């Protein structure tokens, strides 16, 4: 069997790589081509378009890059038809992938959508495109199955794959790895590491990293506290360094966000998948969101949810504090950091919420069950 897979962001690359591993474990004769990043490439996917070329964030940024996006559509259509896959797996990236789904339907190519568009938050009209063009929808948030099923969409919820990925990471992470990690950074197990996760897109780094770094100033004389930026090589090192040059006491680690988190005591996290990852590692966090003025103004008027972090959305309560737009300031962030670092009652409350979160996200074997369903559906 041949699959074409499209992931347009780092989180999609991660989930795509895990799904690919399971598909190949079930049948090592499967061939896979498509769009993704280094993780999917390492799993054997023939990458024809890398995610570093694709991550456009916000309404204004998308508008600025509309020419590139149109060229990407043209490329994808030609490449898929030339490859002639048995099915296409679309991962998140809805603005692009739903349009591709429509094209695939015209050519009678089966479509599996993994990680649903957040139609429950905004652009509810997308459910009609999903119903029309997607053969099976695999969702990863517990409330999504009921939401999409109400529209007559064939929907499967097996659990959240991040829970399985992170549980496996925690089990396999050794004391020797921990010692080496700390040694490489010149710190000890007595240090309290504060992870800084500023996002995986250039626009996110530019908006949030300066504020996150400015919040560290209050604690720079405290030798017990160590700040570490979890960076990605999907972006140029210069993007980070132009901000970090003013903060020589802040360390940077490349492509090891999980290792940073598993060794952390607290975290400042950009809204997105990383908020859930941080919670699954059990790390007390504060969530940061700041966009361009126009993008924020538009988002504020069309997004229909009470929370921006996955942690709070799944729990349906304000478990972790969210600092949005003007509240994402140096002073407020410093206050939140103090609570995360020194308020034991707040830390305990967060831990209780995280335990509840874990119970809601499914049992082991999540990704294997999804892979089996993809293969079985393809054979029909």
Q: Is residue 60 predicted with pLDDT exceeding 50?
A: no
Which one is predicted more confidently, 285 or 57?
285
Q: Which residues of 334-362 are buried (b: 16+ CB within 10 A; e: fewer)?
A: eebbebbbeeeebbeebeebbeebbeebb
Q: What is the residue-averaged pLDDT of the chain?
A: 92
- 267: phi then psi, degrees, rounded to nearest 5: -155, 145
Please tell me the predicted confidence (pLDDT) of residue 18: 96
Q: Tell whether 259 and 344 lie within a shared domain.
A: yes
DSSP H helices, 118-160, are 126-133, 144-149
Domain span at residue 259?
A: 167-360
Residue pLDDT, tens place only, 258-312: 999 999 999 999 988 899 999 999 999 999 988 766 665 555 655 666 898 999 9
Q: Tell whether 210 and 235 lie within a shared domain.
A: yes
- CA-to-CA dists, residue 5 to 2, 100, 152, angstroms: 10, 11, 25
pLDDT confidence band for 120 (50 / 70 / 90): confident
Q: Tell whether 256 and 278 lie within a shared domain.
A: yes
Q: Tell whether 305 and 172 lie within a shared domain.
A: yes
Q: Tell whether 243 and 311 lie within a shared domain.
A: yes
Q: Tell whether 186 and 154 lie within a shared domain.
A: no
Residue pLDDT, tens place only, 33-45: 999 999 999 999 9
pLDDT confidence band for 203 (50 / 70 / 90): confident
The average pLDDT across 195-201 equals 92
Q: Tell whether 131 and 173 lie within a shared domain.
A: no
Please tell me the predicted confidence (pLDDT) of residue 308: 87
Q: Where are the beta strands (DSSP E) in the chain?
A: 2-7, 31-36, 46-50, 87-91, 111-114, 136-139, 155-157, 192-197, 225-231, 251-254, 266-270, 285-289, 321-324
Looking only at the bridges linking them, the beta strands covering 225-231 and 192-197 are: parallel
Please tell me the predicted confidence (pLDDT) of residue 295: 61
Q: Tell whether 367 and 318 lie within a shared domain.
A: no
Q: Is residue 174 predicted with pLDDT exceeding 70?
A: yes
Q: Is residue 189 predicted with pLDDT exceeding 80?
A: yes
CB proximity list for 283: less than 8 A, separation 6 or greater: 195, 261, 264, 265, 266, 267
Domain count, the chain: 2
Are 371 and 23 contacting, i.e. CB atoms less than 8 angstroms apart? yes
CATH number of the domain that residue 24 is part of: 3.40.50.2000
Residue pLDDT, tens place only, 214-257: 999 999 999 999 999 999 987 899 999 999 999 999 999 999 99
Q: Tell whether 87 and 216 lie within a shared domain.
A: no
**What percent of the chain is predicted at pLDDT more than 90?**
80
């Amino acid at each position: 069997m041949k699959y074409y897979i499209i992931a347009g962001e780092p989180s999609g690359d991660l989930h795509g790589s895990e799904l690919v591993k399971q598909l190949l474990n079930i049948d090592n004769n499967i061939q896979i081509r498509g769009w993704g990043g280094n993780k999917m490439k390492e799993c054997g996917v023939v990458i024809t378009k890398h995610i570093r070329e694709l991550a456009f964030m916000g309404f204004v940024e998308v508008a600025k890059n509309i020419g590139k996006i149109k060229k990407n559509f043209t490329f994808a259509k030609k490449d898929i038809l030339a490859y002639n896959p048995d099915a296409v797996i679309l991962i998140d990236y809805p603005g692009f992938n739903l349009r591709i789904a429509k094209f695939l339907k015209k050519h009678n190519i089966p479509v599996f959508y993994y990680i649903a568009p957040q139609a429950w938050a905004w652009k509810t009209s997308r459910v009609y495109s999903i119903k029309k063009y997607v053969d099976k929808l695999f969702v990863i948030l517990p409330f999504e199955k009921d939401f999409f099923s109400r529209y007559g969409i064939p929907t499967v919820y097996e659990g959240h794959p991040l829970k399985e990925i992170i549980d496996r990471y925690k089990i396999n992470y050794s004391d020797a790895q921990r010692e080496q990690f700390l040694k490489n950074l010149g710190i000890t197990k007595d240090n309290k590491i504060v992870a800084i996760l500023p996002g995986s897109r250039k626009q996110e780094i530019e908006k949030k990293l300066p504020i996150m770094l400015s919040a560290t100033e209050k604690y720079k004389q405290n030798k017990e506290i160590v700040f570490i930026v979890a960076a990605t090589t999907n972006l140029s090192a210069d993007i980070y360094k132009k901000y970090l040059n003013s903060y020589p006491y802040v360390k940077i680690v490349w492509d090891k966000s999980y290792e940073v988190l598993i060794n952390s005591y607290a975290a400042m996290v950009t809204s997105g998948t990383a908020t859930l990852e941080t919670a699954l590692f059990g790390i007390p966090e504060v969530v940061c969101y700041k966009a361009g003025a126009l993008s924020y103004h538009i988002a504020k008027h069309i997004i229909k949810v009470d929370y921006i972090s996955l942690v709070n959305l799944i729990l349906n309560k304000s478990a972790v504090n969210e600092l949005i737009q003007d509240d994402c300031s140096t002073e407020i962030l410093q206050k939140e950091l103090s609570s995360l670092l020194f308020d034991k009652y707040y830390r305990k409350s967060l831990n209780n919420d995280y335990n509840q979160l874990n119970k809601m996200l499914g049992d082991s074997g999540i990704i294997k069950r999804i892979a089996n369903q993809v293969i079985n559906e393809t054979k029909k």
